[in-house]
Amino acid sequence: MDYDVLILGGGIIGCAVAYELSKYNLNIALIEKDYDVANDISFANTAIIFDGSEAENDLMSSLEFRGMNLIKSHCEKFNLSYKKVGLLKVNLNETKAYIIDDMYEKIKIREIDGVHIVNNEEISKIEPNLKVNASKALYSENISIISPYNLAVSYAEVAVDNGVNFRLEEEVIDIKSISKGFKVTTNKNKFTCKFVVNTIPNEVFNDEHNEMECNSKNKKVRCILLDEKLEENINTVIINYIDEDTFIINVPCVIGGNLIGIKSDKILSFENDLILSQNSLKNINRESINSIFTEVYNQSNMFIDDSNLEDGYIRISGNNYAKVTIAPAIAQEIEEKIKTNMNITKKRDYIDKKREEYVFSNMSKEQKNKIIALDKRYANIICRCNNITEGEIVDSIRRPLGARTIEGVKRRTGIGLGGCNGSYCNMKIMKILAREMNKSILNIVDDSMDSKILVGRIKEFNEI
């Protein structure tokens, strides 16, 4: 067999599974079709870590609660931001005030600490900039925000350092059972393995081993990303129920600014969206908007389909708005299932540590001088909006499973996410990528194979 375990798909779930399994004496590969892991994570670079209080059913609730605690400890271990911001659920429709009470009763049964009903005065104390007149709200002090991409990349980096082989730019096209294992065919290779963990969402890849139906409940959510320079920023996650079909969610972003999501079955104009958003953030105007995009809001239940466990096949099914939160809990469940199926032992030389990285803008003056003395590239500021240096960009490329695309550099370092939206630094990132990867600048892509930035030369200069 080529591998003991093949993990299919390099989203946050695949990376978390690779991380958990990398501590065992197993020959593992992860196959991902894109240039980078976690490419499908929303580019807004923030995710809410839920506590299970809002989950539709008890199974999702317990996965969320477990995932939240694991993510907290992983962020500490990998030195990633885990910002406790709290969540206020407000219902402005007084005739539907019972919704808040019903939610609270459910939470009491689930025995989740740190969730309370708060009155109008308490709402103002928790979030002074929230200009709504609600008599009560449900407040969870447990809710946090993280950068999900950085978490996924950290899982992947530790897995690589512990011997997991990440096969990027390979698309799985077929999975077949063979005697005592599987044959996985990609667009480039054929591999045999004893065990398959398939994390590719059912909507994009289905195979004969997937017996469970995934009842997708997908809705669209329109998102508005706001500038970090608003006079009155909201620092708490706010969910504001307008009516049965519509809610507005306001999420403070890890890197500053706010993200407003509008979930509505109605097709509304941008002006309507703006008016709805002003329900929670009064001072939003056109000038404060950085970008607008639409995302899919998934509400189907997640489950680990282990109906073929004895043959060596597990599939993660379902798509859910809290998938980042539950990813580490799912990974641990898979670890347990594999332990029952294969005779595995722990590695003696396992290193549960991410290689150190330096965020120049967070350093003291002394630390900055020290690192510049070691490496002059830390004195070359490439991103003027967020003070990101050439040293950080080079490190993001040279790390295990380093960035190969402009988007990869941006997501790892935060470059290009400032006010200029990359207009000042994009060309500089391209030049550094080309130099570090020893490629022609014409072959540098934004994020996928068909996203080349420069289509050709218009004049033959010696260099560009």
Ligand X SMILES: Cc1cc2nc3c(=O)[nH]c(=O)nc-3n(C[C@H](O)[C@H](O)[C@H](O)COP(=O)(O)OP(=O)(O)OC[C@H]3O[C@@H](n4cnc5c(N)ncnc54)[C@H](O)[C@@H]3O)c2cc1C
Q: Which region, judged by CB under 6 A, interacts with ligand X, from 12-20, 126-134, 157-165, 401-409?
A: 12-20
Site for ligand X contains 47 (CB under 6 A): yes
Of residues 60 and 432, the one with the C-beta less far from ligand X: 60
Residue 436 CB, shortest distance to ligand X, in Å, is 23
Q: Which two tokens stand for residue 197?
A: 């963990």
Residue 50 CB, shortest distance to ligand X, in Å, is 6
Site for ligand X contains 450 (CB under 6 A): no
Of residues 141 and 295, the one with the C-beta less far from ligand X: 295
Of residues 198 and 389, the one with the C-beta less far from ligand X: 198
d(CA 166, CA 447): 17
Q: Which residue number places its CB atom closest to ligand X? A: 11
Question: Closest by alpha carbon to 397, among 432, 361, 358?
Answer: 432
Of residues 162 and 319, the one with the C-beta less far from ligand X: 319
Residue 315 CB, shortest distance to ligand X, in Å, is 11
Site for ligand X contains 157 (CB under 6 A): no
* Longest CA–CA separation in the chain, Å: 71
Per-residue x/- mask for ligand X, residues 186 to 225, rule CB under 6 A?
A: -------------xxx--xx---------------x----
Site for ligand X contains 27 (CB under 6 A): no
Q: How many CA atoms lie less than 13 Å away from 434 in the CB half-sphere?
A: 18
d(CA 176, CA 313): 11
CA dihedral 145, 146, 148, 154 (to 10 degrees): -160
**SS3 for 141?**
coil
Q: Which region, judged by CB under 6 A, interacts with ligand X, from 31-39, 81-89, 378-386, 440-448?
A: 31-39
Considering only residues 292 through 311, tell me which ones interact with ligand X, judged by CB under 6 A: 295-296
- Name the region of 271 (left: φ>0; alpha: ψ -120 to 50; beta: rest): alpha
**Residue from 225, 284, 324, 388 in contact with ligand X (CB under 6 A):** 324
Q: Which two tokens stand for residue 151?
A: 């978490």
Residue 74 CB, shortest distance to ligand X, in Å, is 13
What angle, 0 to 180 degrees and rounded to 10, lies between the N-to-C axes of helices 58-77 and 323-341?
90
Residue written as tokens 């560009």? 464
Q: How many CB atoms lie within 10 A of CB 268?
A: 14
Amino acid letter, residue 36? D
Report CA 58 to chain centroid distance, whole Å: 23
Site for ligand X contains 48 (CB under 6 A): yes
Residues at the contact surface with ligand X, assessed by CB under 6 A: 8-14, 31-34, 39-42, 47-48, 148, 171-172, 199-201, 204-205, 221, 295-296, 319, 321-325
